[in-house]
Structures are given as C-alpha cells and as structure tokens.
Structure 1
Amino acid sequence: MTSRILRIAGAAVAIVATAALTACSPSANVQDRPAAASSSFQGEVPEFTGPWAAEFAEAYRSTTSEVVHKILAKGSITDQDYASVSSQFVTCMKDKGFAVEITGPYGESTVSGDGDINAGANACNDDMAVISALRFSTTRNPQHLDENTIMVACLHKKKLVPPSYSTKDYEADLQTQKFPFSVDSADFLACTGDPLGLSAGK
C-alpha cells in the first residue's frame, strides 16, 4: 500500500506570486496541482466585485463544473463550501480505491491505497483544486495587497532582514533564488503562509 501527502492547490499558482514558496512549502512531500480545471467555460460569467473579483472571474471561466460555479457566484468561499468539495473529492477517490484524509484548510490531504495516486487525483480533484486555491488566496491576503510589499514587511517584522532591505531587494532575490536568510526557517515559512499574521490573531 502506498501513501502520499498531497496538496491539491499548488502553493505558488498565482496565490502568492513568489517563486520561493514552491520550494519552501512546509510539507516536504507536497504534490502541487494546477488551480484550474481541465476545461474552460464559454458561457456568461457573473460580474464579481471586491479585491479578488478578477481572480473569481478567472476561476469561474477555468471550469465547467456547476458545483464550482454555484460556489463562486456568491463571491466568497465559506467553510461549508470547502467541506462540500472536500467531501466530493474523498468520495471520488474512495470509488477509485484510495482512502483520503483531509488534513488542512487549503487542499492538503493524505492519500493511501494501491495504484497510481496521481492518476486518481487527476480524475477527482478539479473542483477542489479551484476552490482550495482561491480560498487560500483570499484568506491569506483578503484585501489583495501587493504580494512583495507584504512579504518584505513580514520579513522585517520577523527580523530576517535589515531595515534597509527593500521590495526591490526581495524581487531581485526571487529572481536568483538567493536570500539573505534561510528559506527553511520557521519564520520565513510563516511569512509565506501568513504574511499579514491573520491566523495568529495579528
């Protein structure tokens, strides 16, 4: 029997706009998946509003799933919405002979069973991929603030960089993937996952 840790929503797929996060995800055995489903929608898209309106519209166009369309049309993603698509994913994988345990709020799961786990996930995770990726984005940065700006502010707060370290410095370091701190450090991982400190009660 094989077992694998999956993260259905690719951590760096337009969620945080930082190449570092892909290489520095808290789980070492992460399976990153595209946030978009396999087919595109050609019909009418709701007129979304708010900081993430463009991303909601893009996600809506990325799939023909009625389930996803119904969730996105509200302009928000609730815990109940996430639980619904998670349950569908678990059921679909069970039908293919895999046992799934949802372990996190953004598509993280452990999958066990004999056979090709990736093939099973490919067939079952479209709805969950779209919802979990957008849920992560909107929860992590509700006002859609500039990604590099909030990352640098967090790095300053964690004292990982000197006060003189700027957004331009961070952008340059992203290009070279060479940073003046350890990308394996708990503080950096905390910044990539929650740069605004929202989950820690600010």
Structure 2
Amino acid sequence: MALLATAALAGCAVSGVGAGQDGWAPSPSYSGPVPEFSGPWASEFAEAYRSTTSEVVHTILAKGSITDRDYASVSSAYVQCMSNKGLKAVVTGQFGESTVEGDGDVNAANEACSADFSVISALRYSTSRNPQHLDENEIVVACLIKAKVAPPSYTAKNYAADLETQDFPFSTSVAGFLSCTSDPLGLSTSQ
C-alpha cells in the first residue's frame, strides 16, 4: 500500500541533527561558540546555529546566508535518508515542501531525516519572503489592504488578535489572503 504525505517543512520548528547509527538522529542543543552574525536576521541565524550540533548546518549558517547550493545539499541528504528508510521523498518547492510515498511510518522517518532540512528550509523561507525582517503583521496587513481583502481601517494589531483566535472579519480562503500570508512583499510568484 502506498502512503502519500506532504510536508511543508519551512514552517517546522528549528531542530538539530547529529550523527546516529545511520547518520541521522536528533541531537541536543549546541553549547559551543556561535559566530557573530550580522544583518536583519542575525538573531535567527544564531538561534538556528544553537539549535543543532549538525556540522552541515553550522557550516551553512556560519556564512550568514543560505544559497541554492546549500538548500540543494540538505534536500538531497533528506531524500537519500528517506530512501534509506524505504520511502520515496520528492522535494517539490524552494522552501522545504515535499511529498513522501511508500509503505512505512512516514512520520517517524521524517522526524529522523528532516532536521537539517527543516532548519535550513525554515530560515531560507523567512529570509526570502521578508529579507529586511520587517514587522510580519504590518507587511501582511499592508498586503491584505492593497489586495482589497481587508478594509483600509484594518491594523496590524487587529491582525495579531485575529491570527490568535483564527477568526478574521474577511474570507481567508480567497487567493489574496493566501498570497499575502505566503508572500506579503510580492517578492516571488513561485511560492
């Protein structure tokens, strides 16, 4: 029987990977020295660095940016790890989206294989959609108003409250809402 699962890892919490018996296992937080990062996402890079003992992730993050090559490297490692567990994973997007097919415990395999991929995907997603690390609620609301999803009187404070309760005074199933929450600055049409 084939099992199909879709994982958008970009939204996952940052977690670490260390070398286990098969090369992939959860690891404790890192307690060593952390590079001094600069730029709008410096604290998030430092937090991601501290969240793992993975040398692969540390090497990527130490540069202060995540390249397409870095993403391809962790994507390939994720696909190979899932294959080693008898599952076929295909990375379908730029920010950790993937599909998984096969017989077996997809959740357990994903947990064992996705740590490096999750760290890099999540940070890549955040830095790509909001490079200057502007206030998230403000940029989403500005987009919602521009797209005429929300009224001009709608504020970032309104959005924060509505986000918490998941009770919005407008439809969240319209394309404008989905577009504004995934790409509020309109930086990519492929997200």
TM-score (norm 2): 0.90
Amino acid at match of 1:110: T
- Spell out the pairing of 1:1-202 with structure 2 (5 A cutoff): 1-10=2-11, 33-37=12-16, 38=26, 39-200=28-189
Q: Distance in 2 between the 1:165 and 1:74 partners?
A: 39
Q: Percent identity?
A: 64
SS in 2 for 1:163: coil
Amino acid at match of 2:10: A
| Residues 9 and 35, structure 1, Cα contact 8 Å, conserved in 2 | no
SS in 2 for 1:110: strand
SS in 2 for 1:100: strand
Shift of 1:7: 1.6
Q: Distance in 1 between the 2:126 and 2:139 partners?
A: 13
Runs in 1 of length 4+ with deviation above 6 angstroms?
A: none
Q: Distance in 2 between the 1:163 and 1:116 partners?
A: 48
Shift of 1:110: 0.6
Identify unmatched segments of 5+ residues in structure 2.
17-25
Q: Could you list the per-position Cα deviations for residues 101-127 of structure 1 after superposition, in whole angstroms to 9, with x for gaps in the alignment? A: 110011111111111001111111110
Q: Distance in 1 between the 2:84 and 2:133 partners?
A: 38
Identify unmatched segments of 5+ residues in structure 1.
11-32
Q: Distance in 1 between the 2:8 and 2:164 partners?
A: 25
Alignment coverage as a number of residue pairs: 179
